[in-house]
């Protein structure tokens, strides 16, 4: 905590890292005497560069929200330090350039949408003369203009999410932290949010967000990190990770039967008959030539050969499944990028 206050990194400006954590840890003490310890986050070292859209992944309870709360000063770290835009997070003024959407945001029941945005805008340091037009603009963009005079107690979950997003960008932040931004949104809202993220990113805003919806992440982020049980399992460029994972090649042959190709069984990962075609999954190293030969000898024809690119989902599950049991599997898959 001391580290945090005294601020490593007041002069870190030279580094391009917009968000940086060094050994950030949080141990919750629970139980009556506060004796039970639960490690929610263990020594997270991470850096996010300017202009990145950074996807923060992990199963329930992995520590994603904990990380964001630490960065937003809602909870205090047990150890470690963090900086945003080169300033230690102990400096309140950095937050005039930061936007944050909490997980399942909740706001004052008794305020209307308009009042809430004005209030939070003022606290974020939006100049008074711009405030009214900014609020109206955001209400329109969030699709809440009709509901501007409705008290927030009457808002639906998705509407709260929308107003949460609106307040997060009210100060034109340089860095945006979103904790599960897609939750509670309908398909239209989801698409709008995706467009909003892309647009903000084009304007140079660095975006750090956690999500369970991997397909959304895949189409948005350029870098990712996977957190599991409070520990960083993997992080790096999304493209590289997906290419790295594409170790298998799919070969589809026509005019052959599975039985005729049984001699290949030791060579291929998987063999499936689809109609009059057979689909082989071949590990990259394995000899493609033997498969081609065998197929042709049986009078068949090779239809397609192409490397299989996994989805982020597959990368995710591969990392999560055997995280502690087989550390070698992880390192062989390349523990790079952090």
Partner 1 sequence: MKVLWIAGNTFRENIRDKVLYNLVTVAFLLVGGALLLGELSIGYEMKIIIDIGMASVSLTGVLIAVFIGISLVQKEIEKRTIYNIVSKPVSRHQFLLGKFLGLLFTLAVNVSLMVMAIFAALIYLNGRWDWSFLNILPATLLIFMELVLVTALSLFFSSFSTPVLSAVFTLSLWVAGHFNNDFLSFAKLSKSPVAEFTCRLLYYLLPNFSNFDSNAAPTAIQQAGYLQTPEPVVLLAAFAYGSLYTVLLLAAAAGIFERRDFK
Ligand X SMILES: Nc1ncnc2c1ncn2[C@@H]1O[C@H](COP(=O)(O)OP(=O)(O)OP(=O)(O)O)[C@@H](O)[C@H]1O
Our CB check for partner 1 shows the closer of 104 and 247 to be 104
Q: How far is the CB of 190 from ligand X (least distance, A)?
A: 18
Residue 325 sits at φ, ψ, to 5 deg, of -65, -40
Secondary structure of residue 255 in the 3-state scheme: coil
- Strand stretches in 93-191, DSSP E: 98-101, 175-179
Contact partner, 106, from Mg ion, ligand X, partner 1, none, Cβ < 5-8 Å per class: partner 1
Our CB check for partner 1 shows the closer of 105 and 300 to be 105
Please select the residue that binds ligand X; options are 23, 61, 86, 255, rule is CB under 6 A: 61
Q: Stretches 68-76, 243-251, 298-306, 307-315: which one binds partner 1 (CB under 8 A)? A: 68-76
Please select the residue that binds partner 1; options are 93, 187, 259, 332, rule is CB under 8 A: 93
Contact partner, 107, from Mg ion, ligand X, partner 1, none, Cβ < 5-8 Å per class: partner 1
Please select the residue that binds partner 1; options are 108, 199, 297, 336, rule is CB under 8 A: 108
278 half-sphere exposure, CB direction, 13 A CA radius: 25
Residues 153-182 that bind partner 1 (CB under 8 A): 167
β-pairing, 231-237 with 277-283? unpaired
Q: How far is the CB of 103 from Mg ion (least distance, A)?
A: 5
Q: Is 130 in the site for partner 1 (CB under 8 A)?
A: no
Please select the residue that binds Mg ion; options are 65, 124, 206, 248, rule is CB under 5 A: 65
Q: How far is the CB of 33 from partner 1 (least distance, A)?
A: 16
Contact partner, 40, from ligand X, Mg ion, partner 1, none, Cβ < 5-8 Å per class: ligand X
- Residue 59 DSSP class: -
Pick the closest to residue 155 from 188, 190, 191, 109 (CA basis): 109
Long-range CB contacts (within 8 A, 24+) of 302-305: 302/251, 302/252, 302/253, 303/252, 303/253, 303/254, 303/277, 304/250, 304/251, 304/252, 305/249, 305/250, 305/251, 305/252
Pick the closest to residue 1 from 61, 90, 118, 66 (CA basis): 90
Our CB check for ligand X shows the closer of 193 and 256 to be 193
In 3-state terms the chain splits into helix, strand, coil percentages (rounded to 5) of 40, 30, 35
Pick the closest to residue 101 from 205, 181, 175 (CA basis): 181
Q: Which residues bind partner 1 (CB under 8 A)?
A: 1, 69, 72-76, 92-96, 98, 100, 102, 105-108, 110-111, 115, 119-120, 122-125, 167
Q: Which residues bind ligand X (CB under 6 A)?
A: 28, 30, 38, 40, 58, 60-66, 103
């Amino acid at each position: 905590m001391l580290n945090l206050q005294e601020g490593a990194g007041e002069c870190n400006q030279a580094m391009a890292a917009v968000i940086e954590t060094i050994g950030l840890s949080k141990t919750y003490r629970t139980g009556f005497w506060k004796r039970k310890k639960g490690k929610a986050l263990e020594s997270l070292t991470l850096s996010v560069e300017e202009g990145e859209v950074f996807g923060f992944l992990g199963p329930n309870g992995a520590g994603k929200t904990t990380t964001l709360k630490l960065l937003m000063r809602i909870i205090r770290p047990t150890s470690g330090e963090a900086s945003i835009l080169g300033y230690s997070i102990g400096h309140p003024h950095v937050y005039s350039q930061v936007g944050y959407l909490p997980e399942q945001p909740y706001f004052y029941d008794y305020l209307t949408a308009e009042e809430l945005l004005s209030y939070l805008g003022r606290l974020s340091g939006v100049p008074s003369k711009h405030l009214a037009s900014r609020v109206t603009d955001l209400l329109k963009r969030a699709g809440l203009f009709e509901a501007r005079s409705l008290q927030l107690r009457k808002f639906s979950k998705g509407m709260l999410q929308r107003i949460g997003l609106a307040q997060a960008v009210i100060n034109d932040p340089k860095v945006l932290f979103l904790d599960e931004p897609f939750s509670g949104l309908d398909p239209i809202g989801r698409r709008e949010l995706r467009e909003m993220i892309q647009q903000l990113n084009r304007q140079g805003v660095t975006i750090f967000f956690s999500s369970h919806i991997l397909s959304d992440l895949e189409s948005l982020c350029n870098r990712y990190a996977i957190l599991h049980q409070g520990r960083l399992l993997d992080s790096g460029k999304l493209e590289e990770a997906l290419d790295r994972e594409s170790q298998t090649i799919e070969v589809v042959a026509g005019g052959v039967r599975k039985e005729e190709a049984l001699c290949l069984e030791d060579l291929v990962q998987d063999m499936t008959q689809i109609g009059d075609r057979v689909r082989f999954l071949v590990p990259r190293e394995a000899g493609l030539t033997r498969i081609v030969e065998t197929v042709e000898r049986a009078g068949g024809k090779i239809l397609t050969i192409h490397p299989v690119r996994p989805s982020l989902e597959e990368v995710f599950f591969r990392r999560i499944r055997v995280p502690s049991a087989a550390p070698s599997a992880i390192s062989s898959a390349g523990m790079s990028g952090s």
